[in-house]
């Protein structure tokens, strides 16, 4: 599949997707990047000289089989309405990576009767290790689903969901999830310093431990609970630490945190959809 793809918005996430697609063999000249910022366009021109660039979206959309909406959620309604006439003439597959904006609102702003895939990627996509939840509306056919999946899999894991409401949970778990892990690494680093380690030593040990644990889990057929039990010797240091975390309500606090993130995701979607 070498369909022409137009990216509306050429920020970090769009550039990551472009880079992943090109690395997967997508021709540069089958890609468009649209951004009003000359600096953003210059970044792309230096890296991918054969990629098409535009300041405004209509020209790009007129050539595209796929339209990737990669603008800030707060401006998506305005951008979509400006493109609606061209989109209606072209009828591309619409892929949105704008956080918190529901498919029905996107379709409405673009004039209706469109195949829309809404995605929730996370920031590790910037280094090719993203996790993305995806939902297709009823107008998306199997070929278009494969096309949307190939775009998001260029930067990591991409999973389909049956219900768009589940994207609020995806937002809470993986969309916001990197921040939880950064906080854990930050807390481990600080604790190491309080226990007498030099700051840089503590930082590197925390980072490498987080990386190694994630890599071990990804490469294992066992679940996290089994892996945790395997490194927890009865009466040992790890058991003592885990008992302290459990006594402090670690699991309950994490459940509450994800619930708060999910609820806020719903609130933001309601607010954005009023436009």
Domain total of the chain: 2
- Proportion of the chain above pLDDT 90, given as a percent: 97
**pLDDT of 191-219, one tens digit each?**
999 999 999 999 999 999 999 999 999 99
* Last residue in a domain, options 113, 141, 167: 167
161 and 70 in a single domain? The answer is yes
* Last residue in a domain, options 167, 196, 222: 167
Average pLDDT over residues 254-262: 97
Is position 273 within any domain? no
Which residues constitute the domain of residue 191?
Answer: 177-268
CATH number of domain containing 242: 1.10.3730.10
Prediction pTM value: 0.92
pLDDT at site 2 = 77
145 and 53 in a single domain? The answer is yes
Ranges 126-130, 238-242, 247-251, 271-275: which has the least confidence? 271-275
Which pLDDT band holds residue 125 (cuts at 50, 70, 90)? very high
163 and 191 in a single domain? The answer is no
Does pLDDT of 27 surpass 90? Answer: yes
Which pLDDT band holds residue 1 (cuts at 50, 70, 90)? low
pLDDT at site 34 = 96
148 and 200 in a single domain? The answer is no
247 and 131 in a single domain? The answer is no
DSSP letters, the chain, are: ----EEEE--SHHHHHHHHHHHHTT--GGGEEEE-S-HHHHHHHHHH-TTSEEESSHHHHHHH-SEEEE-S-HHHHHHHHHHHHHHHHHH--EEEE--TT--HHHHHHHTTS---EEEEE--GGGGGT-EEEEEEE-TT--HHHHHHHHHHHGGGEEEEE-S-TTHHHHHIIIIISHHHHHHHHHHHHHHHHHHTT--HHHHHHHHHHHHHHHHHHHHT-SS-HHHHHHHT--TTSHHHHHHHHHHHTTHHHHHHHHHHHHHHHHHHHHHHHTT-
């Amino acid at each position: 599949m070498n369909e022409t793809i137009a990216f509306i918005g050429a920020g970090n996430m769009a550039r990551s997707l472009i880079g992943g697609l090109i690395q997967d063999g997508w021709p540069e000249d089958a890609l468009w990047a649209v951004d009003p910022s000359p600096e953003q366009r210059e970044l792309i021109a230096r890296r991918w000289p054969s990629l098409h660039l535009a300041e405004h979206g209509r020209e790009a959309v007129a050539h595209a089989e796929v339209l990737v909406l990669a603008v800030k959620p707060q401006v998506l309604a305005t951008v979509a309405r400006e493109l609606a006439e061209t989109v209606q003439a072209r009828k591309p597959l619409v892929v949105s990576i704008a956080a918190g904006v529901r498919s029905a609102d996107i379709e409405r702003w673009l004039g209706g009767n469109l195949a829309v895939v809404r995605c929730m990627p996370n920031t590790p996509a910037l280094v090719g290790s993203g996790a993305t939840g995806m939902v297709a509306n009823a107008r998306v056919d199997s070929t278009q689903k494969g096309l949307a999946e190939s775009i998001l899999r260029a930067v990591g894991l991409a999973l389909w969901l049956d219900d768009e409401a589940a994207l609020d949970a995806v937002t809470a778990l993986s969309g916001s999830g990197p921040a939880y892990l950064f906080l854990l690494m930050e807390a481990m680093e600080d604790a190491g310093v309080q226990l007498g380690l030099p700051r840089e030593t503590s930082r590197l040990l925390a980072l490498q431990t987080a990386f190694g644990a994630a890599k071990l889990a990804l490469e294992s057929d066992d679940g996290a609970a089994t892996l945790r039990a395997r490194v927890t010797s009865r009466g040992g240091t790890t058991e003592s630490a885990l008992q302290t975390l459990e006594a402090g309500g670690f699991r309950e606090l994490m459940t509450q945190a994800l619930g708060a993130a999910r609820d806020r995701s719903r609130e933001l979607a309601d607010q954005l959809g009023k436009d």
